[in-house]
Amino acid sequence: MMELTRKGEYAIRGILYLASQPLGKVSLISEIAEAAEVPQTFLAKIFQSFAKMGIVNSYRGTGGGFTLARHPGKITLREVVEAVEGPIIPNRCLIEGGGCDRRGNLPCCVHEVWKDVQAGVVRVLDGVTIEQLAQKG
């Protein structure tokens, strides 16, 4: 249960490669894919998501590629994971805005527990930057 998919795994590997490069250096997706050992076309999709979320900048044409959009110390693991996997939601009932009980419009009896789980996971992932991860190697 609660398992990260390959996409999330690849996303982390890809962004960590960028973080390991000199700040501001533009990297090709082919280069990142090779270094991170991820299928190139799949990684391209992942980096599209990153670009949309403002985690990386993308440049087209000759000399194009990707750079981090911010200092790696300002990018959290949570952002990276959520960019490709969507928000961290242990149960649908957290989306339905409190009307999750089957007999009415109140929160179900597990609602608060899922909120606690969510908060716990978010706190851990928000507490780690890709700079910290990159330093560990």
Q: Which of 53, 91, 96, 131 binds a copy of itself (CB under 8 A)?
A: 91
Of 40-48, 53-61, 63-71, 81-89, the window that binds a copy of itself (rule: CB under 8 A) is: 81-89
Comparing C-alpha atoms, which of 9, 8, 19, 39 is closest to residue 134? Answer: 19
Quick one: angle between helices 29-36 and 40-52, nearest 10? 120
Question: Is residue 118 involved in binding DNA (CB under 7 A)?
Answer: no
Quick one: angle between helices 111-126 and 77-85, nearest 10? 120
Minimal distance in Å, beta carbon 135 to DNA? Answer: 25
Minimal distance in Å, beta carbon 60 to a copy of itself? Answer: 30
Which residue's entry shows tokens 């989306």?
95
Burial (CB count within 10 angstroms: exposed 0-12, middle 13-18, buried 19+), residue 46: buried
Contacts with a copy of itself by CB under 8 A lie at 1-4, 8-9, 12, 16, 37, 77, 81-82, 85-92, 102, 108-110, 113-114, 116-117, 120-121, 123-125, 128, 133-134, 136-137
